[in-house]
């Protein structure tokens, strides 16, 4: 693979293939020109601009790995990671919308869906329909398999009843991957995954959460009241939903890592510019050694995070084991993002505590990284188990 310098001046050094860099550069320009001017208003309104979502589809960013014959861009998982990183560098809310679409919803259907499901749903997901991944419930967070949602077999299908919480993209989504248990006595071995459409009778979207960060990204309750789902809409095998969930989330954690390095880079970019311009005692604050050391430490942590995320993505594309590497990438990048954005606010001083400057929002947005798609403690448990075994 031919390579080029994949950075702009002042950004960490990484090496990408020419096609990867071209894709990344197009998304970077889009994020700056189209997402950037909307960030503050979307955060205030707690809603992603519908026109912007249409542009994401038009650019091919909502079906990155999907084959061209099904309407997708048919590029690598690594490119999907680059896209999420660049969008999150400007607005992590937009980054996570694209991340969930690609790393959770599309990837699950690509890997586990029957030919009928792939033909029916992937063209829509690439062209016009937002997707969501409905696993979490009030009583099943880290214990994701303590599901209370039930599926009962009916003629030619199943009837699902239950409530899901904290569903990203819930307000915008038209297609949901829903996990329910068809045999509670069997525990996790009764869990089955289904593709459910928003307009199925008995399906509704409930409360929208009022959140600390990524406020433009919708996080909602999903309510299923005796929803009939055709047997053809089972994703993977009956009783194998736990496998669909585990393996899809392993990939999704790399996407969250990309979101975290993107927002950390955005905060550092803003801080570097401010440090060059802000003067105290007759000198730019960037000239003071104490500030320089803080900038250097942030850049080092960010580069380490980026390499962990990129390594996990490359392993996934190569078909090699990546469970431990994905957990390490999410763990380190999410915790580093919180440290970096906090330090950025310190360097901005009083200005950093206001919404006039972007670092305040990046700081709020970073907090979710250690919580969703597996808390830091769950990542540590995964890493430890793979080491011991």
Catalytic residues: 373
The alpha-helical segments, DSSP class H, found in 198-322 are 241-277, 289-317
Distance CA 203, CA 225 (A): 6
CA-closest candidate to residue 329, choices 264, 247, 245, 260: 260
Contact indicator for 347, 375 with CB cutoff of 8 Å: no
The residues, ordered by sequence, that sit 6+ positions from 76 with a Cβ below 8 Å of its Cβ are: 20, 65, 317
CA-closest candidate to residue 359, choices 266, 262, 259, 257: 266
Strand partners, 152: 159
Instruction: Name the phi and psi angles at 138, rounded to 5.
Output: -60, -35
Contact indicator for 323, 387 with CB cutoff of 8 Å: no
- Burial per residue of 58-70, b for 16 or more beta-carbon CB atoms within 10 angstroms, e otherwise: ebbbbbbbbeeeb
Residue 12 three-state SS: coil
Cα end-to-end span (Å), the chain: 35
Strand positions, DSSP E, the chain: 3-5, 15-17, 131-134, 150-154, 157-168, 175-181, 191-197, 203-208, 219-230, 234-235, 279-280, 283-284
Instruction: Say what angle helices 289-317 and 323-348 make with each other, to 10 degrees.
Output: 160
Distance CA 359, CA 338 (A): 11
Contact indicator for 65, 77 with CB cutoff of 8 Å: yes
């Amino acid at each position: 693979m031919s390579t080029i310098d994949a950075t702009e001046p002042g950004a960490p050094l990484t090496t990408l293939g020419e096609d990867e860099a071209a894709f990344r550069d197009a998304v970077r320009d889009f994020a700056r020109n189209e997402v950037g001017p909307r960030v503050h208003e979307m955060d205030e309104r707690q809603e992603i601009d519908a026109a912007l979502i249409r542009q994401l589809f038009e650019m091919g960013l909502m079906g990155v790995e999907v084959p061209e014959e099904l309407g997708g861009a048919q590029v690598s998982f690594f490119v999907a990671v680059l896209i999420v990183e660049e969008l999150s560098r400007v607005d992590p809310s937009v980054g996570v919308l694209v991340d969930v679409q690609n790393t959770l919803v599309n990837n699950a259907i690509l890997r586990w869906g029957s030919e009928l499901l792939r033909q029916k749903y992937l063209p829509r997901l690439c062209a016009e329909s937002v997707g969501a991944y409905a696993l979490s419930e009030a009583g099943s967070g880290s214990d994701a398999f303590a599901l209370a949602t039930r599926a009962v077999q009916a003629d030619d299908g199943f009837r699902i009843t239950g409530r899901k919480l904290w569903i990203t993209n819930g307000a915008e989504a038209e297609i949901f991957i829903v996990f329910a248990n068809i045999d509670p006595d069997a525990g996790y071995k009764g869990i089955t995954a289904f593709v459910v459409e928003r307009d199925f009778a008995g399906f509704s979207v409930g409360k929208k959460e009022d959140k600390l960060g990524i406020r433009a990204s919708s996080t909602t309750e999903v309510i299923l009241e005796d929803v009939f789902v055709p047997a053809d809409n089972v994703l993977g095998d009956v009783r194998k939903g736990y496998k669909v969930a585990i393996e899809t989330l392993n990939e999704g954690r790399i996407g969250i890592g990309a979101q975290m390095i993107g927002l950390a880079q955005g905060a550092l970019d803003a801080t570097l510019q401010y440090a060059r311009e802000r003067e105290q005692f007759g000198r730019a604050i960037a000239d003071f050694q104490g500030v320089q050391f803080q900038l250097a430490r942030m850049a080092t942590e960010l580069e380490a995070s980026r390499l962990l995320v990129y390594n996990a993505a490359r392993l996934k594309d190569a078909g090699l084991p990546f469970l431990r590497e994905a957990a390490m990438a999410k763990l380190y990048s999410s915790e580093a993002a919180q440290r970096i954005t906090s330090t950025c606010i310190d360097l901005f001083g009083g200005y950093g505590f206001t919404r006039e400057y972007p670092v305040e929002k990046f700081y709020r947005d970073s907090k979710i990284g250690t919580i969703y798609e597996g808390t830091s403690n769950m990542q540590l448990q995964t890493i430890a188990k793979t080491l011991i075994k």
